[in-house]
Amino acid sequence: MSIWLMKSEPSEYSIDHLQSDGTSSWFGVRNYQARNYMRDSMNIWDRVLFYHSNCKTPGIAGLAEVASLPHPDITQFIPGDKHYDPKSTQLKPIWQCVDVRFVQKFWEIVSLASIRSTSWLESMKFLQKGSRLSITPVTEAEYQILEPMFH
DNA sequence: GCCAACGTTGGC
DNA sequence: GCCAACGTTGGC
């Protein structure tokens, strides 16, 4: 089982949205590296740390899990959609995504500030200078440090 | 293939 | 709202 940190702007799609939806496709990723993680490296039951970005208190808001194999992101085919990609075709889709299922919402967000101030977590990929990837792997060791911070 | 210009991300 | 850092685009 692998562990992933997946960013979403809560004004677009928050942990609360996922809680009410139960399961949702992680559509809209338009970065090749992030797509490759979903397409090539994710497996059903992988753990997902649901991260709120670009908001008042950025941080990990809850947990989810990978709930499907990779499949085409349908928004790439919809003209006028924010995520429409004219270069993509039904026969050769460019963008793949997975479904994620809600697991848990934390009572309190595990803030970016608190993660940054934990020296054992300095290695986390998403913290690295200039990292803007919306999906990054989390190591088992990092997860072990993070877990007690979840509540 | 280079690289300038542009658009986006995301913390602050 | 600012802006650093990055990814993408497209002319050449």
> What residue is closest to B8 (Cα–C1')?
A132
For chain A, how many structural domains are there in total?
1
Q: What is the pLDDT, as a whole number, of residue A60?
A: 97
- Distance, Å, A44 CA → C6 C1': 30
Please state, in angstroms and rounded to a whole number, the distance separating the CA atoms of residues A61 and A87. Answer: 34
Query: Is any atom of strand B within 7 angstroms of residue A134's beta carbon?
Result: yes
Please state, as a whole number, how many other Cβ atoms lie within 10 Å of the Cβ of residue A33: 11
Task: For residue A66, give its domain range.
Answer: 3-139
Residue A16 covered by a domain = yes
Which nucleotides of chain C does any protein CB come within 7 A of?
5-8
Pairing of strands A71-72, A96-97: antiparallel
Which CATH number does the domain housing residue A96 bear?
3.10.590.10
State the nucleotide closest to A134 in CA–C1' terms.
Answer: B9
Is A58 a domain residue?
yes
Is A124 domain-assigned?
A: yes
Which residue is closest to B10 in terms of CA–C1' distance?
A: A54
Residue A144, in any domain of the structure: no
- The Cα–Cα gap between A93 and A57 comes to 35
Whether A107 is in a domain gets the answer yes
Please indicate, yes or no, if residue A150 is contained in any of the structural domains: no
Structural domain includes residue A148: no
**Which pLDDT tens digits describe chain A residue by residue (151 residues)?**
999 999 999 999 999 999 999 999 999 999 999 999 999 999 999 999 999 999 999 999 999 999 999 999 999 998 888 899 988 888 889 999 999 999 999 999 999 999 999 999 999 999 998 888 999 999 999 999 999 999 8
